[in-house]
Homo-oligomer: A and B are copies of this chain.
Amino acid sequence: MLDFQYYSPTRVVFGRNAVKELGGLLKDRKKVLLHYGGGSVKKNGVFDAVVEQLKAAEIDYVELGGVAPNPKIGLIREGVKICKEQGVDFILAVGGGSVIDSAKAIALGAKIDFDVWRLYETKERIDGALPLGSVLTIAAAGSELSNGTVVTNPEGGLKRDYGADYLRPEFAIMNPEYTFTVSKYQTACGTVDILMHTFERYFTHTPDVDLTDELAEGLCRAVIRAGRKAVENGNDYEARATLMWAGSISHNDLTGLGRRGDWATHQIEHELSGQYDRVSHGAGLAVIFPAWCRYVWKEEPERFVRFAEKIWGVDTKGMTQEEAVFAGIECCENYFRSLGMPVRLSEMDIDDTHLHEMAVKGTYFGKRTLGGFKVLDEADIEAIYRIALK
């Protein structure tokens, strides 16, 4: 087990009446930036419920909607300007991971006097950001408890991340009912993203992480069941609740403590959805992960056998090691497919045109390698894209 720090200070208010705590949580705030996405929160009543609480608590606010999936730096710059001009002292993200990531970017930008994209490019450290909180409406990204934010710059199709402890939101309002209207497709994407946040931490060569393994495997089993149920019936409260809470703790570090994670699949996917804006992050992960598995499993087959047995419930008795490894990978792929996810690039109408270019960009033009389970260079990344093709 490796040394670690764990810091997850976000106050979680979970359940059907969670939004009623909002006024108390925002007490003493002078002006709140209400940040949201494409307007679904206005249709399903969540926005009104939030505004009602703000009004009741006499909290002044200004709105900025329009966050798209893979949030763009343009709208973020607009948000930064609003915060500076109007003296905003708190950002409330009403939405899913994209909205929260966008809010985190604005929170960073509001505290600096240069363009916020520079932080994502250079990773330079700053002292702090505006405080923020969220009203969660999609279970997936885990941004509501995480220290990270991922933003896309359409100039060059670049997707970059930034992380800092002060970006962990002060609170998260989580009402599973707010996710009832999430489509089957987006529910499936969310389920994949949640699983992947733990899988990225699970594939490691660090020995002796028994407790973390137990927590990780237990979380995945519960998510696999809940994802199936929520895709089948969007109004299943318990399944939605499981996905919502699992989404948070799958990405607040709990399932990876004491070991080095991998994260190559995420980074390879970032280049994919950076290049093809129509690709949802979760769907991109569903395509890349099985290909990554097939490319790297020989680094430690035992880990993949455990993955098959403990997470997918494969009875490996009588199998060779290689058969057991591939049984696990296929279970995973079949599960993604059963949720309606693509598992090959061709299913998303992507051919080999940009594969080399994405591999180059994925290494920041040769400045970094990806992954920890197997260290990947440009050629490896391209090979994984090619395995994922058909």
Chain A residues within CB distance 8 Å of chain B: 1-9, 11-18, 208, 210-211, 213-215, 217-219, 221-223, 225-226, 237-238, 241-242, 245-246, 249, 254, 257-258
Contacts and interface: CB of A to CB of B under 8 A. Distances in A.
Contacts of A9: 8-9, 11
Q: Name the residue in A2, A218, A246, A254 with the highest tally of chain B Cβ atoms < 10 Å from its Cβ.
A: A218
A193 to B, nearest CB: 16
A215 B254 CA distance: 11
B225 A221 contact: no
Contact of A211 (B1, B4, B15, B245): B245
Copies in the complex: 2
A214 B219 contact: yes
A137 to B, nearest CB: 17
A246 to B, nearest CB: 6
Contacts of A208: 238, 241
Nearest to A245: B211
A5 B16 contact: no
Nearest to A217: B218
Q: Name the residue in A7, A11, A214 with the highest tally of chain B Cβ atoms < 10 Å from its Cβ.
A: A214
Given A3-B16, A6-B12, A15-B4, A222 B241 contact: no
A6 B257 CA distance: 19
13 contacts: A1-B15, A1-B237, A1-B238, A5-B11, A5-B14, A7-B11, A9-B9, A9-B11, A14-B257, A208-B241, A210-B226, A245-B257, A254-B254
Contact of A6 (B2, B14, B213): B14
A255 to B, nearest CB: 10
Given A238-B1, A241-B258, A211 B18 contact: no
Contacts of A2: 15
Contact of A210 (B5, B6, B242): B242
A357 B175 CA distance: 46
A131 B237 CA distance: 38
